[in-house]
Amino acid sequence: MKSEYQKLTELAAAIARHTQWSEIKDILPDATIIWAAPHEALVVPGESTQELANELVDDTEWTVTGLAAYRQFGFNFTVADTPLLYRHTANDEEQVNVTVAEAVCHALCRRIEHRLVRFSALVVLDSVASGDLTSSDLQDTATIYNIEREIETLLSFLQHHGDEDVLPTDLQSSFPSWNRLVDTGRQYDFDVETAVEELNTNAEG
């Protein structure tokens, strides 16, 4: 039964990706779709269409997400990176917006590596401390993008103050050292250790 369910899930994902691509390819022919659902997609534009991609965010169906969206949550990470776009065609609002949990999951759905993990960790810690995010919010959102394991590992890494024993073998090289994360926090006037206490209190509650 589990195997049949997985096959159906994979088929649904393939159909969603195909549908999204059929609509996007004429606008961004060199784009890469990294995740898709019937009315949503995460899209990385290619080099030749990056300028057009910047114009798309003014459209009601598109917005910037992932690393580039972190500035709206208080962190302006100045790094060069191809923008990650989120498309939502069934949105009832005048403009598509992403939550903290969505932006973090979008970033880590794209890839898991030292820099993104560090920046995402700071956004998670700050948002939990300010009451804008809970661990359960993040975990629930992770299930949508099939990155439950990665998000669970991130939360465990933070709750255990960077203990490498909580990291699965295949993710160890993708996570920063605890000292590196703490130092990155200091660069942005952010106290990682204090924020972790808030995270642990939130988890206990």
Full DSSP string of 59-122: STTEEEEGGGGGGGGT---------EEEEETT--SSS----HHHHHHHHHHH---HHHHHHHHH
pLDDT tens readout for residues 5-57? 566 566 666 777 767 778 888 888 889 999 998 889 999 988 777 777 777 77
* Cα separation values, 121 from 117, 180, 195, 198, Å: 6, 12, 10, 13
Specify the pLDDT at position 7: 64
Amino acid (one-letter) located at 45: P
76 pLDDT band (50/70/90 cuts)? confident
**Which of 38-47, 49-58, 95-104, 186-195 is the least confident region?**
49-58
Of all residues in the chain, what percent are helix, strand and coil, respectively (each to 5)?
Answer: 60, 10, 30
Q: What is d(CA 123, CA 114) in angstroms, rounded to the nearest whole number?
A: 14
If you average pLDDT over residues 80-101, what whole number do you get? 83
pLDDT tens readout for residues 121-165? 999 999 999 999 999 999 999 999 999 999 999 999 999 999 999
Q: What is d(CA 85, CA 57) in angstroms, rounded to the nearest whole number?
A: 8
Q: What is d(CA 158, CA 182) in angstroms, rounded to the nearest whole number?
A: 11
Q: What is d(CA 124, CA 203) in angstroms, rounded to the nearest whole number?
A: 13
Listed in sequence order, the residues at least 6 apart from 2 whose beta carbon sits closer than 8 Å to its beta carbon are none
